[in-house]
């Protein structure tokens, strides 16, 4: 994965990202709890070959979903309504997230960026995008990060089916995608938890 990007606020691999408090042993245990294996890693690589070229179409579905629910869109809005520049900046990172999810290395650099994403949802939500996010809510409430796992999972299947005709291969990729999204959302929960509870 690239450490250089023109995507606003995208800092995967940056030395400025602090180390994750999650150890590699913790990560291995989480992967075990999710039944996440090397077969899933390969299925994600295959999924990436199909999904990455369709990134804009996938984002259109996801942004359409968020935009159709005022309570979700409100996280990207100030008193006057949605902040277009903020939505655009987040969309660019969200698109890269699709690729990163399919190409993840599951090492300390990857863990560090998961912690960075987690902090941007909670302790530092509006700092990355500065003025573009001014006036928007200061946190993303955890309940929606958790709940959005399902639509992020369910809505990729038609895109996988566009690139793969074998139903069993589609299912392997779809299940691997679900495990990868659950793994990340679990890591993103850390800043929201009471010390020792995660």
Q: pLDDT tens digits for 140-164?
A: 999 999 999 999 999 999 999 999 9
Confidence of residue 195 (pLDDT cuts 50, 70, 90): very high
| Angle subtended by helix axes 55-67 and 84-103, to nearest 10 | 130
**pLDDT score recorded for residue 103:** 98
Q: pLDDT tens digits for 7-38?
A: 999 999 999 999 999 999 999 999 999 999 99
- pLDDT exceeds cutoff 80 at 5: no
Q: pLDDT tens digits for 70-81?
A: 999 999 999 999
Backbone angles phi, psi at 78, to 5 degrees: -110, -165
- pLDDT exceeds cutoff 60 at 3: no
Confidence of residue 61 (pLDDT cuts 50, 70, 90): very high
- The token pair at 14 is 């940056």
Q: Could you give the CA distance from residue 167 to residue 161 in angstroms, rounded to a whole number?
A: 8
Confidence of residue 189 (pLDDT cuts 50, 70, 90): very high
Length of the chain, please? 198
Residue recorded with tokens 């996010």: 133
Q: 121-147: string of b/e by CB count within 10 Å (b at 16+)?
A: bbeebbebbeebbeebeeebebeebee
**pLDDT score recorded for residue 1:** 46
- The token pair at 180 is 């990868």
Q: Which of 109, 112, 75 is nearest to 90 (CA)?
A: 75
Q: Could you give the CA distance from residue 31 to residue 25 in angstroms, rounded to a whole number?
A: 10
Strand 81-82 to 77-78 pairing: antiparallel
Structural domain boundaries in the chain = 29-192
Q: pLDDT tens digits for 82-122?
A: 999 999 999 999 999 999 999 999 999 999 999 999 999 99
Chain centroid to CA 57 = 16
Q: pLDDT tens digits for 115-129?
A: 999 999 999 999 999
Class for the domain spanning 29-192 = mainly alpha
Angle (CA) 152-97-112 rounded to 5° is 115
pTM to 2 decimal places? 0.95
H-assigned helices in the chain: 24-33, 38-51, 55-67, 70-73, 84-103, 108-121, 142-147, 149-154, 157-163, 167-188
């Amino acid at each position: 994965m690239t450490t250089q990007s023109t995507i606003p606020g995208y800092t995967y691999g940056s030395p400025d990202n602090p180390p994750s408090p999650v150890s590699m042993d913790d990560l291995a245990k989480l992967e075990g709890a999710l039944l996440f294996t090397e077969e899933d890693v390969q299925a994600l690589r295959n999924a990436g070959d199909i999904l990455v070229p369709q990134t804009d179409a996938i984002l259109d579905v996801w942004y359409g979903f968020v935009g159709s629910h005022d309570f979700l869109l409100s996280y990207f809005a100030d008193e006057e309504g949605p902040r277009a520049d903020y939505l655009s900046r987040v969309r660019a990172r969200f698109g890269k997230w699709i690729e990163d999810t399919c190409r993840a290395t599951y090492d300390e650099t990857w863990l560090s960026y998961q912690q960075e994403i987690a902090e941007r949802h909670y302790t530092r939500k509006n700092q990355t995008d500065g003025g573009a996010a001014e006036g928007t809510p200061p946190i993303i409430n955890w309940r929606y990060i958790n709940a959005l796992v399902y639509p992020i999972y369910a809505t990729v299947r038609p895109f996988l089916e566009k690139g793969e005709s074998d139903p069993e291969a589609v299912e392997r990729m779809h299940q691997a995608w679900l495990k990868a999204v659950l793994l990340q959302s679990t890591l993103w929960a850390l800043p929201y938890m009471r010390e020792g509870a995660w």
